[in-house]
């Protein structure tokens, strides 16, 4: 469905609120090891300077971002840059999103513990890891087999409850629907109708929509009566979604 984990991260958003770095106790095997991995200071600085000092105000998102070992999700040789405010290359010519865009999309999804969430565009698995750290039940789809295979192994070690499938995410994952949240990490020319269909009442779809020249980050909320509320958040620049969505069929 998508060929990247990642936003290339051009965002026209700044914030003014600062909060202290997260201090909550780790809740997973990955976060339990995080305090001793040598990157705790870098994670704390990332949360403080890149997230809380901007417009990321959800403490649960800040805490999760402060626990997930992002350096485990970048290519070998890039670990020292893992907590910088920019995207980084991963396998298959793709990128991992800058920390801010991951935090923003997670905050917009309003994920709660126990929510069933679909992550489309697994990439290295970082977005799925953040969602799992927040207590979500995460299913993730990646169109590039090499990325899917590597993410599956990585997440099995760090967040073993995350399920990764290789395939085109345009039609979502009907067998696991409905979802309280869906996050799409590549730009679609239109909103895929199957993803709207798989949202639970009250669920949120967070995705970039548009072409190479102009994209907007959207939040689409399904109301209890099935109607949709659409909100444009900010201009962005993501890699394009590939696969069936390019046919322009059954889109909203």
Tell me the pLDDT tens digit for each residue of 51-86.
999 999 999 999 999 999 999 999 999 999 999 999
In a domain, 24, yes or no: no
CA–CA separation, 100 and 221 (whole Å): 22
pLDDT given at position 93:
85
pTM of the model: 0.86
In a domain, 19, yes or no: no
Q: Is the pLDDT of residue 12 over 90?
A: no
In a domain, 58, yes or no: yes
Contacts of 88 (CB under 8 A, 6+ apart): 74, 75, 78, 81, 82, 95, 96
- Calculate the average pLDDT of the chain: 87
Q: Is the pLDDT of residue 151 over 80?
A: yes
What strand order describes the sheet that includes 199-210? 163-166, 137-142, 116-120, 179-184, 199-210, 215-222, 228-236
| Domain extent at residue 111 | 29-247
In a domain, 138, yes or no: yes
Confidence of residue 157 (pLDDT cuts 50, 70, 90): very high
Confidence of residue 117 (pLDDT cuts 50, 70, 90): very high
CA–CA separation, 233 and 126 (whole Å): 22
Please state, in angstroms and as integers, the Cα–Cα distance from residue 104 to each residue in 98, 109, 130, 150, 180, following that order: 10, 9, 12, 25, 17
Map tokens 């927040």 to a residue: 134
pLDDT given at position 226:
95
| CATH number of the domain to which 219 belongs | 3.40.50.150
In a domain, 1, yes or no: no
pLDDT given at position 246:
76
In a domain, 206, yes or no: yes
In a domain, 89, yes or no: yes
pLDDT given at position 216:
97
For residue 229, the tally of other CB atoms under 10 A from its CB is: 10
Enumerate the active-site residues.
97
In a domain, 128, yes or no: yes
Three-point CA angle 73, 236, 188, nearest 5°: 85
Number of domains the chain contains: 1
CA–CA separation, 148 and 168 (whole Å): 11
Confidence of residue 34 (pLDDT cuts 50, 70, 90): low
């Amino acid at each position: 469905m998508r060929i990247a984990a990642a936003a290339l991260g051009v965002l026209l958003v700044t914030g003014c609120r600062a909060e202290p770095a997260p201090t909550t106790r780790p809740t997973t095997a990955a976060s339990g090891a995080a305090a001793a991995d040598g990157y705790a200071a870098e994670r704390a600085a990332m949360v403080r300077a890149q997230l809380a000092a901007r417009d990321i105000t959800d403490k649960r998102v800040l805490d999760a971002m402060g626990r997930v070992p992002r350096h485990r999700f970048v290519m070998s040789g890039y670990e020292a840059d893992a907590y910088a405010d920019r995207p980084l290359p991963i396998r298959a010519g793709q990128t991992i999103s800058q920390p801010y865009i991951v935090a923003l999309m997670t905050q917009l999804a309003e994920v709660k513990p126990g929510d069933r969430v679909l992550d489309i565009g697994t990439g290295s698995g970082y977005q799925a890891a953040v969602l799992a750290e927040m207590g979500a039940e995460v299913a993730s789809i990646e169109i590039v087999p090499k990325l899917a295979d590597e993410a599956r192994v990585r997440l099995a070690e760090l967040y073993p409850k995350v399920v990764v499938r290789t395939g085109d995410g345009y039609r979502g994952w009907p067998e696991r629907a409905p979802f309280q949240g869906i996050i799409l990490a590549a730009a679609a020319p239109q909103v895929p109708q199957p993803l709207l269909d798989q949202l639970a009442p009250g669920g949120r779809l967070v995705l970039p929509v548009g072409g190479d020249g102009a994209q907007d980050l959207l939040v689409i909320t399904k109301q209890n009566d099935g109607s949709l509320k659409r909100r444009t958040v900010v201009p962005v620049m993501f890699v394009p979604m590939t696969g069936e969505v390019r046919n322009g069929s059954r889109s909203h």
